[in-house]
Amino acid sequence: MSNYARVFIDHAECGLGPVHVVQSALGVRRAIHIDTESVSVEIRRNPDDGQADGFLGFPLVAEIFGREDSGRASLVLAVQSVVEALDSAGFRVVTAAEFEEELPGHGRNAPI
């Protein structure tokens, strides 16, 4: 079982910065790399930005890694918090993870 998720983020129509939204969702105030007790998150420009079809070409991606000493439930909850916060802020998101079916809306609010 993978301890990892990718959340593809399209921010074209949203005025808020996605880093700020993810930080708020996880209760931290650090830059692009975010660490909590249960996960590590890196938000970066998607290398396939504009070159791939659909969500694979979204401009940003958040890579969320569960810590080895944290359980799967902690990772699922963190990904859910990030996706819900981004969705509430107006971002289009699609999650790619082995456990995406466990997330509300399968971790997406945009077509795949």
38, HSE (Cβ side, Cα atoms, 13 Å) = 13
Task: State the pLDDT confidence band at 65, using cuts at 50, 70 and 90.
Answer: very high
- pLDDT score recorded for residue 75: 95
Task: Please tell me the pTM assigned to this model.
Answer: 0.80
- pLDDT score recorded for residue 46: 80
How many other β-carbons are positioned within 10 Å of the β-carbon of residue 53? 7
- pLDDT score recorded for residue 1: 61
| Domains recognised in the chain with CATH numbers | 4-107 (3.30.310)
d(CA 58, CA 12): 9
